[in-house]
Structure 1
Amino acid sequence: MRLATLAVSALSVAALSASAAAARDAIRVVGSSTVFPYTQAVAEQFVNNTGAPSPIVESTGTGGGMKIFCAGIGEAHPDVTGASRAMKRSEWDLCISNGVDDISEALIGYDGLSIAISRQNDFDWDLTLGQVYLALAAQVPVNGEWVDNPYRKWSEIDPSLPDVEILAFGPPPTSGTRDAFVELAMHAGCEELDYVKNGGFDSKWVKENCSRMRTDGPFVEAGENDNLIVQRLEADPHAIGIFGYSFLYENLDRLKPVNIEGVEPSLETIADKSYPISRPLYIYVKNPHRGVIPYLEEFIEEYMSEEALGPDGYLAERGLVTLPDDLRAEVQDRVLNAEPMEPPAE
């Protein structure tokens, strides 16, 4: 079986070599909207250093990027995908089924999931995860019953909150930001509620009942372009937006953070995990494309460089929370040597 797999892989690489040389000379990257600006920054530096054609970097969302990345080997398929969560086993299985069986995984750093509001809004926002859940979930407890969410104003959740309509712009289901927000904010917020704590409900119940965002108006799926969310927040000072910390970091002149559980998102609070909604960021590299797609190896070297990933690197200047020195060195060594990743857990 192993010999057959190697034979198929060899044929795939041979086909890739023949087609890629004639078909494209630009590196192609897809994936997470949160990882997108970091990859763009690496692409710009890479072009400045090498004079190579500009990589094509697309913001498709983590889930969408995985589907495209795992569709096959060859010039028609991307070389790299960004992800705001680790690859799922189902995505790994899709890759394997399409012959994408040699992938390097790079944890590039950490990011906080920020909730932000326009600087025109003068309220001192500080929400618990329970309040976030009650505002945005499809179903909530009311008078001891689990019902469709009736709350329309923040003040209905807590009288100390503003008497304004709930309106939140957030990521769609294809986004890794959405996956992470559901897991880190919605599930955790649901678990804070007395109905859940006192009801003896386990994590399986929480996952089954607390994962759906409401679809009756207060939560609006704003697509994969986080810049559009920033524009909408400026247009409506009472609306909140949900996106990666890097977008808040880059727009602090126009937006301000909503504190969560009394903690403001920052490079320091995300790094020390005191900010409760933080997550890892990844890129995945299709190793059979190395040495075939022009300049891909040099692009990966730039991405893994200290100038990019280090604590004083240009990605940190854009809001990436960098890895500890020992972990970063381990990741760099593994990816530069094209070591294949282990299959994700079931």
Structure 2
Amino acid sequence: MNRILKTTVIAAAVMGVAGVAQARDQVRIVGSSTVYPFASYVAEEFGATTDYPTPVIESTGSGGGLRLFCNGVGEGTPDITNASRRMKPSEFERCAENGVTDITEAFIGYDGIAFAQSNANEAMDVSREQIFLALAAQVPVDGELVDNPYTNWSDIDASLPDREIAVYGPPTTSGTRDAFEELVMEAASEDMEAYGGEGYTDIRADGAFIDAGENDNLIVQRLAENTDAFGIFGYSFLEENADTLIGSSIDGVAPTPDAIGSGEYPVSRSMFFYVKNQHADEVPAMYEYANLFMSEQMIGDLGYLKGIGLIPAPAEMREQAREEVANHEPLELAELK
């Protein structure tokens, strides 16, 4: 980085820390890599159909986005953050501590977590327990917890492929990782006697699970290069890459829009974005963007986002969510507990 550019970046950072709110036309958005394709579509449409510039969106992961969002109010902080899970009470409290005290939650629909591989292979039907045993840091052997000894899927169950366990997945800042730990790891282990009735979510760090970063497209690329591997990412990426990837059935249920929307698919989750209402005066485009995102044109049964993998919520839920955003209803801590 040359000296002039470096000085400019430092000066911008100092201004951001100072938190001086200045009116601007461009909405700034951070957050979930899973919600990113949907938010990007809305942003492009917003830039093309209004007098405002296209919003700037950064894929930081759900946890990373909420951390930036909750840093405070003002020029150096984002207006909206996307999340592939609900905000945690601890995150809400951190927001409040930093002066972010007026937040609206926008529920946009559903997504499933795909456990996918190259379509050069046969589709695999796998249980959550089998995935857990492949990826847990410690597993029960003869009633004792030991460091995970499994190297091939067939070590876990002879019905599974005799292929090395290699799974590309999201980092700890990702909402997809949070949901995977809860819906797969915790759900599979809470009834295992060796864990004392507690869900176990520690993922092995010996190379079988590969942290592939926040960009789910990189996982897609790596599955094309390593056809023995599996990847963990949002269903929308599976649908977008159906010509090269195939999803696994989990507990006997294939990842389809109907199964995800009904909750039959065991690894489905809700998706959100969060609006910082205290930025409304300085960023007048923020509410117009939020209202476009929540429109039937985008999240409805025939909406554009369904075409790129969003699973629409039932009509009455969409209408309620739309009204909450239009009315800028403040999120309360009690709703998150």
Normalising to structure 2: TM-score of the pair?
0.91
Which amino acid letter does the alignment assign opposite residue 49 of structure 2? Answer: N
Taking the aligned partners of 1:124 and 1:116, their CA distance within structure 2 comes to 9
Equivalent residue, structure 2, for 1:20: 22
Equivalent residue, structure 2, for 1:176: 175
Deviation at 1:188, TM superposition (A): 1.5
Equivalent residue, structure 2, for 1:77: 77
C-alpha deviations, 1:280-300, integer Å up to 9, x for none?
101000011123214112111
Equivalent residue, structure 2, for 1:201: 196
Equivalent residue, structure 2, for 1:265: 255
SS at match of 2:205: coil
**Equivalent residues in 2 for 1:129-140, closer than 5 Å:** 129-140=128-139
1:148 maps to 2:147:
yes
Equivalent residue, structure 2, for 1:335: 325
Equivalent residue, structure 1, for 2:238: 248
Which amino acid letter does the alignment assign opposite residue 235 of structure 1? Answer: E
Equivalent residue, structure 1, for 2:29: 29
Percentage of identical aligned residues: 51
Taking the aligned partners of 1:311 and 1:160, their CA distance within structure 2 comes to 39
Equivalent residue, structure 2, for 1:279: 269
The worse-fitting range, judged by mean Cα deviation, of 293-302 and 125-134 is 293-302
Taking the aligned partners of 1:304 and 1:20, their CA distance within structure 2 comes to 26
Residue 77 to residue 199, structure 1, CA distance change in 2 (3 Å): closer
Taking the aligned partners of 1:157 and 1:61, their CA distance within structure 2 comes to 31
Equivalent residue, structure 2, for 1:211: 201
C-alpha deviations, 1:252-277, integer Å up to 9, x for none?
01100011011110110001111100
Deviation at 1:19, TM superposition (A): 3.3
SS at match of 2:304: coil
Which amino acid letter does the alignment assign opposite residue 330 of structure 1? Answer: Q
Contact 2:123 2:247 in 1 (8 A): no
C-alpha deviations, 1:54-112, integer Å up to 9, x for none?
11101000110011000111121100001111111110111001110000001110110
Taking the aligned partners of 2:150 and 2:143, their CA distance within structure 1 comes to 15
RMSD: 1.5
1:325 maps to 2:315:
yes
Equivalent residue, structure 1, for 2:10: none
Of the candidates 299, 323, 341, which is equivalent to residue 289 of structure 2?
299
The worse-fitting range, judged by mean Cα deviation, of 46-55 and 104-113 is 46-55
C-alpha deviations, 1:279-326, integer Å up to 9, x for none?
110100001112321411211121111101111001111111111111
Contact 2:21 2:282 in 1 (8 A): no
1:97 maps to 2:87:
no
Deviation at 1:201, TM superposition (A): 2.9
The worse-fitting range, judged by mean Cα deviation, of 225-234 and 135-144 is 135-144
**Equivalent residues in 2 for 1:201-240, closer than 5 Å:** 201-202=196-197, 205-206=198-199, 210-240=200-230
Unaligned runs of 5+ in 1: 1-14
SS at match of 1:231: helix
Equivalent residue, structure 1, for 2:8: none
Contact 1:291 1:297 in 2 (8 A): no
SS at match of 1:107: strand
Deviation at 1:345, TM superposition (A): 4.2
SS at match of 1:315: helix
C-alpha deviations, 1:113-172, integer Å up to 9, x for none?
110000112x33010111000001101011221111000001100111111110000000
Which amino acid letter does the alignment assign opposite residue 176 of structure 1? Answer: G
SS at match of 1:29: strand
Contact 2:29 2:79 in 1 (8 A): yes
Taking the aligned partners of 2:226 and 2:47, their CA distance within structure 1 comes to 38
SS at match of 2:22: helix
Aligned residues: 319
Taking the aligned partners of 1:200 and 1:162, their CA distance within structure 2 comes to 27
Contact 2:145 2:194 in 1 (8 A): no
Which amino acid letter does the alignment assign opposite residue 227 of structure 1? Answer: N
Contact 2:48 2:54 in 1 (8 A): no
Taking the aligned partners of 1:298 and 1:216, their CA distance within structure 2 comes to 47
Deviation at 1:25, TM superposition (A): 2.9
Which amino acid letter does the alignment assign opposite residue 201 of structure 1? Answer: G
SS at match of 1:75: coil
Taking the aligned partners of 1:229 and 1:172, their CA distance within structure 2 comes to 12
Q: Any runs of at least 4 consecutive aligned residues in structure 1 with deviations exceeding 4 A, and if so which?
A: none
Deviation at 1:223, TM superposition (A): 0.3
Which amino acid letter does the alignment assign opposite residue 158 of structure 1? Answer: D
Residue 60 to residue 200, structure 1, CA distance change in 2 (3 Å): closer
